Structure 1
Amino acid sequence: MNTDKIYAEAIANEYAPKDTSKVIALKKLDRKAKSKANIFAYTFGIIMALVFGAGMCLSMKVIGDGSALMMAVGIIVGIIGIIGVSVNYPIYKKLLENGKKQYAFEIMQLAKEISEKVE
């Protein structure tokens, strides 16, 4: 295997003129199809992890007045956090599937144009 040749081709590809407007458009469409699901998953996951942590702190009497009522509230809040974290991934998959369905035709059409142009 000639690594010098591979390295030289990689550098030459960086400087070669490119007609990548369609490739860039394809990447943007792909990012757009996935962005709603990613934003939701990160935001919801972080919030639910914080809710879970707050519930743990309440139930272990780290925050709150340390009464039995606060411990019960902490357990309930912790369970809500656990449920939220648990359903985050299935919701993400569903949102991702919907995003892909929404942009599937445009992405497939653009990918077909790019692949036909290469041949």
Structure 2
Amino acid sequence: MNNLDKVYAESVAKDYMPKETSKLRQLKKLDDKAKKPAFITALSVGIVGALILGTGMCFSMGVLGSGIAAMVFGIILGIIGIAICIINYPLYLKLLKKGKSMYAYEIIELAKEIAEE
């Protein structure tokens, strides 16, 4: 058995061993818990706003409909999409602040423990 086989065997065995949770890993998980809901919400709202804006542009340029009614409808739809995109960033900041405040105590305590070690 050569050295490469031993390294491979150890890497495979490591995948099946129970993983110990380090404090740094716990800190990263808590940070993700605090930030991920805001990120996912902002991403979803941004995508929806961009799609509504794009649909409004298609109507106003005559790609999806024709005539004055389609153009007016497209402009209204575009304004709604722009409004959603404008609201998105303040919404993200508010949700991020809420998530950080929920986990702030635990994150600070864990960070202090890591710093003291």
What's the TM-score, normalizing by structure 2? 0.81
- For 2:41 and 2:68, locate their aligned partners in 1 and report how far apart those are by CA, in whole Å: 35
Trace 1:69-84 onto structure 2 (pairs within 5 A).
Answer: 69-84=69-84
- For 1:106 and 1:115, locate their aligned partners in 2 and report how far apart those are by CA, in whole Å: 14
Root mean square deviation of aligned Cα: 1.1
- For 1:63 and 1:27, locate their aligned partners in 2 and report how far apart those are by CA, in whole Å: 47
SS at match of 2:69: helix
- Unmatched runs of 5 consecutive residues or more in structure 1: 1-18
**1:94 equivalent in structure 2:** 94
State the Cα distance separating 1:23 from its structure 2 match: 0.2
Query: Which residue identity does 1:93 align to in structure 2?
Result: L
Indicate whether 1:41 and 2:42 are aligned: yes
Structure 1 moving runs of 4+ over 4 Å: none
Query: Which residue identity does 2:79 align to in structure 1?
Result: I
Q: Percent identity?
A: 55
State the Cα distance separating 1:21 from its structure 2 match: 0.5
**2:60 equivalent in structure 1:** 59
SS at match of 1:31: helix
State the Cα distance separating 1:68 from its structure 2 match: 1.0
Count of residue pairs brought into register by the alignment: 98
- For 1:74 and 1:20, locate their aligned partners in 2 and report how far apart those are by CA, in whole Å: 53
**2:33 equivalent in structure 1:** 32
- For 1:114 and 1:31, locate their aligned partners in 2 and report how far apart those are by CA, in whole Å: 18
Cα deviation, 1:36-74, whole Å, max 9, x if unaligned, reads: 00001111101100100000000111112x021111110
SS at match of 1:62: coil
